[in-house]
Structures are given as C-alpha cells and as structure tokens.
Structure 1
Amino acid sequence: MELFNSALGKNITFVRPAYFIIRGFIGLPNMKHYYVFLFFVYIVSVLGNTAVMAVIYLDHNLRTPKYVAVFNLAFVDLLGSTALVPKVLDIFLFNHNIIPYNDCLTFLFFCYACLSMQSFNLVVLSYDRLMAIIFPLHYQLKVTCRFMLSLIALFWLFVIVANLISVCLLTRLSFCNSVVINSYFCDHGQIYRLACNDNFPNDVVSFLYPVIIFWFPLVFILLSYIYIGYTLAKVATLQQGVKAFKTCLAHLSLVVVYFTPLLVTFTLMEKIHPNNRIINLSLTSVIPPMLNPIIYVLQTKEIKASIKKIFKICLKSKVGTRHSTTT
C-alpha cells in the first residue's frame, strides 16, 4: 500500500471520489425532445431484437452457424441498449446526474463491453460470409454451430477481460480536482483525464482500445470483402457474383450503420464541438441496435419466411381455438 501511495507522488493524497457528475450537453435548449427520441429508439430496439431472437429460437431451420451469430448480435444489441438508454434517461430526463463511483465504473464496463462485442460480432458474420462464398463445398464442415459458438465465446472472453483491465486501471487514479464528466455516460477517456496522478497506462489503453476494437475489425471486414470480390471476378459470372453479394447485403448494411459514425467521430475528434461529439457517439450507441433487426428482417429471406410461417401457425391455432369453442 505504501508503494502504491508513493506512486501517486509525495505531495498528492490518493482521493477516490464518492461520486461523479455527468455533465452531458452544454447549453443546448429543448434537449428533452432528444431524450424522448432516445426512448422511442430504445423501445423499437427492444421489440426488434427480442423478435429476431424469438424467431431464430422458435424456427429450427434457423439453427445454423450464421444465425447463431445473428442471435448473439441481437442479444448484444438488446443488452447494450438496456445498459445505456434507461440510465441516460434517468440522468438527464429526471436530473439524476450524480452517479456513485462504483456504479459509474459498472456503467462504463457494460457500455464498452457491448459496444466492443457489436464490432467483433460483425467480424464473425464477415468470416461466415467469407467462408460461405469462397469455400462453399467445405463450408458446412469448417463452419459448424459448435465452431461459431466457440468463436463468439472467445470474443466475449476477450471483451470482458479487456474492459475489466480498463476499469481496474481507473481504480488506481486519484481525483483531487474535478469529478465532472463531459459526456453522456461514464466515458473512460473523460474520466482518466480528470486524474491528478500518473494516468499514462490509461492513456495507452485509450489509444489501443479503438485500434483493437474498431480499426482491426474494420480492416478485416474490408479485406474479406475485397477478397470475395476479387475471387468472384475470377471464377464467377456477373449473375453469379450479384447473387453471391446479395447474401452479404444485410451484413454490409450493418457494417455501414455501425462504423460510419465512429469513423466520423475518430477522424474529426479535435475539430467537432463537444456537443456534436456527444450526439454522434450517443446515436452510434443506440441507432445500430434499432436498425439491425429491421435490416435482417427486410433483407434476409430466411427470417422473412420464418416470420410468415410463425404467423400462419398462430393464425391456424387461433382459428382452431375459435372453431372448437363454437362447436
């Protein structure tokens, strides 16, 4: 303990605050309308992702490696939205912007873990499309449900460990000045910059996190589709190539929806106003979970066929029940 305190510096007393204050938006009028919008987005996200998970669970024809990954994505979207939006509404809509220290770190962990897993889940879906198109004859042997579950579990383990490390590094910081976080949630970057002792390890994590969580997955996804396009151009006709790429439309749409706002934010980080940064990041956290189930329902024939089949079964059961009661 003495060694730890000495690392803080002789003239600095270690201070762990009782709470943090989430500052949020600065000087923007009528922000309650924005929070009502977030509430609407959250409701749509919960209903949509729950529906996708239910359809995949109920239809045994969808028990394939691809839909194992889709089920996990819907679960992550549901978990991430539930971890973020209700707390954000409680903070800003009901003016509960004082959040206890431990609650803030827990809030941070779940938000970052879900955001990270969304990125890695897109990598899993990209790998599935790569194997299905490039190695169609060996796809069922190489990409099994067991393999997909193992891959997803590995990514979950990595995400949990990585975010636990970032949270633990925050616990070694001393906050002897401000406890006001200039963000809409307990943002790692905004928290560690408030510290009055050495925050170099947190600075390293803050640099590595977007590289590992966002840039590496994005590069892998882009390279996989470049390879798919190159291979199809060599061995397939135009009609075959278009048919193959149609199976990737849903995944490509998810990639664009997820990564575009993040690229804008990270590229223009120093040039955009803090309010614009907060709005951009908050929309990045809530819009993809809302759109993902809509995209898969509209662009995936298997899910649309499964929904129609489930509705037919429900209608038949209702008709059968009415007929039995009348007789």
Structure 2
Amino acid sequence: MENQTLGDDILLLEGLNVSPQSTIPAFIILLLIYIFAMVSNISLVSLIFLSRNLHKPVYLLYLNMSVNDIFGASAVTPHVLRHVFTPHSERYIHYIDCVVQAFCVTLYANINHTALMIMAFDRYVAICNPLRYATIMTNRMVVTLSVAAWGATFIAVAILLGLTVRLSHCKRFIPNPFCDNASLFMLSCESVLINNIYGLLYTVVIVGSSLISVALTYLRIAAVCLRSNNKVLNNKALQTCSTHLAVYIFLLVSSFVVVSLHRFPQLADQRKVVAVLAYVIVPALNAAIYGLQIKVVRQRFMTLLRNNKVSLMDVK
C-alpha cells in the first residue's frame, strides 16, 4: 500500500509504538536523557578544550569519546522525538536523509569501538610501561591515532553505505525508529549477497579487533598487577581501568541485546526501545563516568553537592 502512496524518494518509518497515554511520559524521559547527554558532553569538551592543564593524552581521549557521543546522540534522538507525536502513517523521511542518518549511526557505533581500543592501549602503556608513558603516549600520538581511527572508519562505512545505495529499492517501509544500513538494503528486491558479506567481514574486523585488543590488554594488566606488590600501582590500575571496562561492557551488552532481539519478532517493540535508548544512554553514561575522572569536574561536583546540602539545612 505504501508503495502506491509514497514517491520514489520518500520512505515510511515505523517509529516507536507508544500508546497514547504513554506518549508524553516517553517524550519527556527521552528528552531529559538527551539534554543531560548533550549538556554533560558539551561541557566536558569545552572544559578539556579550554583548560590547558587538561591538554594531556588521557583527557584528549575523553574529548574524542565526547565528540563522538554528541555526534551519535544527535543523529538519532531529535529525529525520534519529532516522530513521537507524529501519526504512524505520516512518519516520512527522504531516502537521502535516511542514507545520511544510516551513515552517521554506523559511523558512531564503530568509532565507539576504535576509541575504546585506543583508550585500552593508553591504559596498558600507563600501567605496564609507566616509565616510557610520556614518550609513547604523547598528545601527537593520541591525535594521530584518533584521526586515523576516524578516517579509516569513515572510509569503511562509506563503502558499506555505497554498496547499499547502488541497489534499487522496491519497498518503502522501514520497520525501525531510525535508519540504519540493514534497514536500507532490505528495501531492495535485488541480491544483497555482497552487502551481507562485506557487512559481516567489517563487523568481525571491528568487533573482533576491539574484543581481542581489550581482552589482551586487560590480561596483561592483570598479570602485571598480580606480580607486583605495589599497592599504589594496583589501586591506580583498578581506578583507571574499571571505568573503561564498565563502559566497554555496557557497549557490548547493549549491542548484543539489540542484535539478539532481532531473532524474536514478537519483541520488535522492545528491540526498538532498546535501540533508541542505546544511542542516548551510552553518551550520557560516558559523560558521567569520564567527567568524574577529571579532578576539576569531581571537585566542582562535590562543591555543588555540599552547597545544596547546606542550602537544604538552612531551609530546615
């Protein structure tokens, strides 16, 4: 039916299936999480960029993560929020806009993996080879690794979407709240074998590389800590690695849940909610975790808590 009513360059998104009574609460919750993610990440970027004493490798890595989180959350959340109050039959999107969104979504997801790989390498050098850390992990090295990660991922994702765009599309309906590569090439009635092969290989390379590198890094760090009787070293390793590992595990779990829910069509609505939340909760969580790793941010946060406590006591 939609094939007859929509033009060649207009697609129909299914969006989130929210009941009328839940529309406003769902919109408010999603909006608040998005605002927190954006404000916290923009604040973190501004603080690191403007504070010369924070122009150090580890903080530049936090900056890289925050920039990517701002990019990823903005690619998905405003679009989903706009469609919450839009009737299902009117959730249109131009094909070229869908391609752009799919590109941004895929780029964001893969930059997350490469950024965390670089952070794992940084932690490895800091803990396992501390005397050479200053000579290995320079600002120049961090910038070079980050630019290389963005550049290589950009090219790989461009090829991925290029293979999809070359296909003609005989369908107009996307059963998702936002566009991604899989949704786009499923619109075609042509063979998508090449797309599936390239997509599978690309996923294996990105996810496999991050899993192997992070696993080997932490095994090596654990071995160093077990051989060392230095409590200061062990506490430093626990403090700096626990947050990175928590973020990485949350990223893997959220991705695994979304992929797993694809196997259960009856849970399509739950899958879409989880997919949207992953693109807004992960940026918010990253900003909170890495923001509190910066002493200046932590001190200001504690000062704010103390001031609020004093204000409440005065009121009483």
1:47 equivalenced with 2:47 (yes/no): no
**3-state SS of the aligned residue for 2:11?**
strand
CA RMSD of aligned residues (A): 2.4
CA distance in 1, matches of 2:207, 2:262: 15
Q: Partner of 2:245 in structure 1?
A: 252
1:33 equivalenced with 2:29 (yes/no): no
* Rg larger for: 1
Q: Partner of 1:3 in structure 2?
A: none
Q: Partner of 2:3 in structure 1?
A: none
User: TM-score normalized by structure 2?
Assistant: 0.85
1:140-194 per-residue CA deviation (whole Å, 9 max, x = no partner) reads 1011100110000001011111111122111221222x21011111121122122
**Partners of 2:121 and 2:217 within 8 A in 1:** yes
Change (3 A) 1:88 1:26: closer
1:111-260 to structure 2, matched below 5 A, reads 111-176=105-170, 178-238=171-231, 240-260=233-253
Structure 1 stretch 150-159 or stretch 266-275: which is displaced more?
266-275
1:295-306 to structure 2, matched below 5 A, reads 295-301=289-295, 303-305=297-299
CA distance in 2, matches of 1:161, 1:124: 19
1:94 equivalenced with 2:86 (yes/no): yes
Change (3 A) 1:302 1:223: farther
Q: What are the ranges of 5 or more consecutive residues in structure 1 without an aligned counterpart? A: 1-15, 312-327
- The partner residue of 2:270 within 263, 269, 276 is 276
Q: Partner of 2:15 in structure 1?
A: 24
Q: Partner of 1:285 in structure 2?
A: 279
Displacement of 1:47 in angstroms is 0.6
1:70 equivalenced with 2:72 (yes/no): no
CA distance in 1, matches of 2:38, 2:173: 31
Displacement of 1:277 in angstroms is 1.6
CA distance in 2, matches of 1:215, 1:17: 38
User: TM-score normalized by structure 1?
Assistant: 0.82
**Partners of 1:296 and 1:303 within 8 A in 2:** no
Percent sequence identity is: 27
Which structure features the higher share of helix residues?
2
Change (3 A) 1:205 1:276: farther
CA distance in 2, matches of 1:229, 1:33: 45
Q: What are the ranges of 5 or more consecutive residues in structure 2 without an aligned counterpart? A: 1-6, 305-316
Displacement of 1:300 in angstroms is 4.1
CA distance in 1, matches of 2:243, 2:295: 11
CA distance in 1, matches of 2:202, 2:193: 14
Letter in 2 for 1:213: I
CA distance in 2, matches of 1:207, 1:18: 28
CA distance in 2, matches of 1:161, 1:236: 46
Change (3 A) 1:32 1:119: farther
CA distance in 2, matches of 1:24, 1:211: 29
